[in-house]
Structures are given as structure tokens and as C-alpha cells.
Amino acid sequence: MDDEPALSAARIAARCEPQVNRLTRQIVAEQATAIPGLAVLPARLRDVEMAASVRHGFRLFLRFAQGGAAADRDLRVFRERAAQRMTEGVPLTTLLSAYLLAYRSMWRALCAVARPGEEYGLRLLGELMFQTLEWVTSAVSEAYLGQAALAERGEALRAVARALLAGQAADDVAARHGVTLEPGYHVLHLAISPDGASPVEVRRRLRTVQAELDRRAGEPVMTRFGPDGGHALLPLRLPPPDDRLPRRLAEAGVGVHVGLSAAARRADVPAAAGQATRIAEVARAAGRPEGLYELGGVLLDYHLSAPGASGARLAGLLDVLDSSLLETLEAYFAADFDRRATARALNVHPNTVDNRLARVSALIGADLRASHGILLVGAALTARRLGG
């Protein structure tokens, strides 16, 4: 005969506690198999984030079953994950199906450990599970639909950004979408480091970039992104972004070269966007570390990368050199013209460095002991790097 149902329910729940991790793995595997759309998600997302949500939900329910109180903060993980799944394109029906499957598996686990005479405790757990499921799925649906509304607002901002970046009159587009135009903008180009990420991971990175821009600006930021990054327009009335932006993005797993320019007038946005793009591309091509760059920080590289025959001819100046001579030149410039440091970097004798530099001078007709020769060869090395 069942004793106090609440005590019986707590005992059943306590027996499930040691099985949480095993059952979580089992549930995640079953979700991927049984629910269309989940199997195509990246393994890291399923095995880490989705598993964490299942584990949190399982422990939360077992805590309630053993007399623990419910708090709104317990729903934070579910709300955050629901918003992320929306931005990743997971349908709400798929998401809710995953939760229903998880709770069904939890119920089976509870039934499996229940003992004869604990029927009333098991029935109480069933009632509690329905209450918890309603509580959780309501929060998930609310967060998902809220993120969908934000996404719709984001699409309006992107429409205005497209018009501004294309040099088109944006007043009508902005008025139609309820967007207030600024007199001028900080124009950023964010070049996200390519690594063959999946479409879901790409969307995650772009969401991370957008969220960080919005956080720093204190308001939604107009952006136009593709898989490899794109442009962002921040009002000139706000302070310009600094190195903290790429640093925070790197901490979130998004490597990026940021080019920064400014458009004093809306009509200047396309030109500023073009300049910001070239700044970011030049910084990456020159081997600069990920970070934020303005024109002054890459001025020589920017100039030497300009389209035209002179840049190609400058880079071609070094075509007569073999790999050992090129390597020596690179090391010599990296060592600030210290022949001994160059020799240590190349693991050769300093005299070998001298001989190679003399050979370079003879082949290209530029004296590396004179300022003109140093400037010419330095520019040629830079043009060569920028030319790929």
C-alpha cells in the first residue's frame, strides 16, 4: 500500500538521479533519430547544447519531484536555447517535439524505477510532469516567437542598410519600416575568418556578431551580412568601436578582421563601405592578426594593394629570387635589419646572411645597404604578400 504520495514520488525521483547523464545521452540520440530536422544539426550543437538542455530539464524536474521550489530563473536556459534555435532555422514544431520526446523518455525512466506500492507516488509524478511540461513549453514558445519578432525587425533594418550601402535614396524604405535615419555613420566591414563551417554554424556566428554590435551600441544596429561577414552601420553620434569588439567576438569563437571607416553624410556610405572592405581585406592579406583596423594602421599596405600595373610590377621585382633568398629577405626585415638575429632565425651563420643579401642586391639591382634599396625591397615584399 502506498504511503504519503509526495514521499513516494520523492523516492522514485531520487532513484533516477544517478541515471541522469546516461538517460540524457539516450534521449539526445533518440531525438536525432526520431525527429526530422535534428539529425542535420552540427554534432557539437546536439551533443553539447541540446544535451545540456535535456540534462537541465531532467534535473529540474527531479528537483521539483523531491520538493524543490520553481523559480523563473530555472527557465533561462530554455529561453536562450529557443531563441538560438529560431535564428538557426529550427521550426518551432520541431523544437516542441524534442521537448515532448524528452519528457516521454523521462516518464519511462520513472516508471522503470518505481516499485510495487508506489502507484500513487507515480501518479503524482505524472501530474507534476504535465505541469512542468506546460511551464517549460510555454516559456520556449514565448522566447521563440519573441526572437522571431526581433528577426522581423532585423530584416527591416537590413532593407534600409541595403539601400544605404547601394547609394540609393533610403528615406522611403526607412519610413515604410519605421526606421529613423542618422545624418552619418561609422561604417564597418567585418571579414569573418573562413573555415568551412556548416550553414548552422555560420548563422550562429552572424547572430553572435549582431548581438555584440547591438550590445555595444545599446540599440539594434543596421547590418548586411553574408556567410563571410559584411557591413555594419553605427550612428556617428555613438563612439566608434575599438579593439574590444573583435576581442569579444574572438572570445565567443568568431575570428574577424574589422575595417573601420566613416561616412559624414548618408551619401558617403557606399564609398566608406568600399574603403572599410579594403582595409579589412588588406589587413588579412598582409598577415595582420585579427582585430580592428583603420586606414592609418594599414596605409602602406592599402596604397600598395591599389589596382594597377605598378603594384604587379613592384611585386614582380622579386620573381628572380629563389626561395632561400626570399626567406632571408623576409627574416631580415622581420628582424629590423639585424643580421645576427636574422641568422639565428634562419639557423645559419651571419656570413651566410651577408652573402645572400649581396646576391639579392646583385639580382634586383637595389643596394640593401642604402635607404632607397631598403624602401624599394620592403615595398616589393609587401606588394608580393598582398598579391597572394
Q: What is the 3-state secondary structure (H, E, C) of 307-365?
A: CCHHHHHHHHCCCCCCHHHHHHHHHHHHCCCCHHHHHHHHCCCHHHHHHHHHHHHHHHC
Helix axes 20-34, 92-113, angle to 10 degrees: 140
- The DSSP code for 75 is G
Per-residue pLDDT of the chain (388 residues; tens, 9 = 90+): 345 888 999 999 999 999 999 999 999 989 988 988 787 777 777 778 889 999 999 999 999 999 888 788 889 999 999 988 888 788 999 999 999 999 999 999 999 999 999 999 999 999 999 999 999 999 999 999 988 887 878 888 999 999 999 999 899 989 988 889 999 999 999 999 877 677 777 888 888 899 899 989 998 899 999 888 999 999 999 999 999 999 999 998 899 999 999 999 999 999 999 999 999 999 998 889 999 999 988 887 887 777 665 677 778 889 999 999 999 999 999 999 999 999 999 999 999 999 999 999 999 888 888 888 888 888 888 888 877 5
Rounded Cα–Cα distance for residues 113 and 54 (Å): 19
Rounded Cα–Cα distance for residues 237 and 308 (Å): 37
pLDDT score at 1: 38
For the chain, the domains span: 5-149, 182-304, 309-386
**125-136 core/surface letters (b: 16 or more CB in 10 A; e: else):** beebbeebbebb
Q: What is the homologous superfamily of the domain 182-304 according to CATH?
A: Reverse transcriptase/Diguanylate cyclase domain (3.30.70.270)
Amino acid at 95: L
Protein fold of 5-149: Globin-like (1.10.490)
Which residues are within 8 A (CB) of 153 and not within 5 positions of it... i.e. 6 or more apart? Answer: 220
pTM (two decimals):
0.64
Q: What is the homologous superfamily of the domain 309-386 according to CATH?
A: PucR C-terminal helix-turn-helix domain (1.10.10.2840)
